[in-house]
Amino acid sequence: MSISETAQKNHEELFPDHTSTLKVTDPELIEVFDNFAFDEVLSYGNLDAGTRLMVILASLIAQQTLSEYKVMLGGALNVGVTPIEVKEIVYQSVPYVGIAKAFDFIHATNEVLGSRGVKLPLEGQSTTNIETRFEKGLAVSKSIFGKMIDVMYEQSPENQMHIQKYLSANCFGDYYTRTGLDIKMRELLTFSMLLSLGGCEPQLKGHIQGNVNVGNNKKTLLSVVTQLLPYVGYPRTLNAIRCLNEVLPEDDSSN
């Protein structure tokens, strides 16, 4: 077996002039992986290079794979993902994976950007303040999930209502209202993180419907799952596809 011309071309686009040490120590594995991830998988779906790299970065944060994240971050910047978009991916991860998991990725992102001459901090992207975050966050969440938000508030026990308010003010008010990425991209990133975390299938199903509501159809979501397969493995890929098919059945012509 040898690495295909297509795989070499796609790899070179992300990592120009890169010399892989694993090609020397583990040539058979690299042949298999590169042909799969950079040729076979890339031939499927409707994602452009920037979107593909962005959802991969979100997935790698969720999986806590810091070394691979730094490698793919370089590739993302090489194909035109902007420093602001990269920072927003990391910020978007905080309400979904927690600051403890995001912490090292914030510093790694700063290091990579600094090595490329990017001056920090970047231009601010926040659009809310302490007075407006709840109202604006509630509005954004309703624009994504509709009446389901009202149902969640109505069904929440009083001793758990603070969590619903946190979701509105913090998860959506502090993060989703930021500029730098639009709502469609933020929902794709959230979908990517939830499927990569594993064990979040109820939330994954909710965000599958949320993605559809903001304009990301099943073809796009299946494209995301496919592009993440080499990085998350088959069990989480199959779990995500099962959730997709439950929320968006194959016989539904609207998909």
Please choose, from the candidates 244, 247, 212, 214, the residue with its C-alpha nearest in 3D space to the C-alpha of residue 228.
Answer: 244
How many Å apart are CA 146 and CA 155, to the nearest integer? 15
- Residue ranges per structural domain of the chain: 1-43
Count CB atoms within 10 A of the CB of residue 136: 20
Mean pLDDT of the chain, nearest integer: 96
Which pLDDT score is estimated for 253? 60
pLDDT in tens, 165-187: 999 999 999 999 999 999 999 99
Inter-residue contact 42 to 73 (CB < 8 Å): no
> What 3-state DSSP class applies to 102?
helix
The pLDDT value given to residue 255? 73
250: which DSSP letter?
T
Residue found under tokens 């994954």? 204
Asked whether residue 43 carries a pLDDT value surpassing 70, the answer given is: yes
Buried b (16+ CB within 10 A) or exposed e, 40-53: ebbeebebebebbb
The Cα–Cα gap between 181 and 47 comes to: 16
The dihedral over CA atoms of 112, 116, 118, 119, expressed in degrees to the nearest 10, equals 90
The distance in angstroms from the start CA to the end CA of the chain is 38
pLDDT digit string, tens, across residues 184-234: 999 999 999 999 999 999 999 999 999 999 999 999 999 999 999 999 999
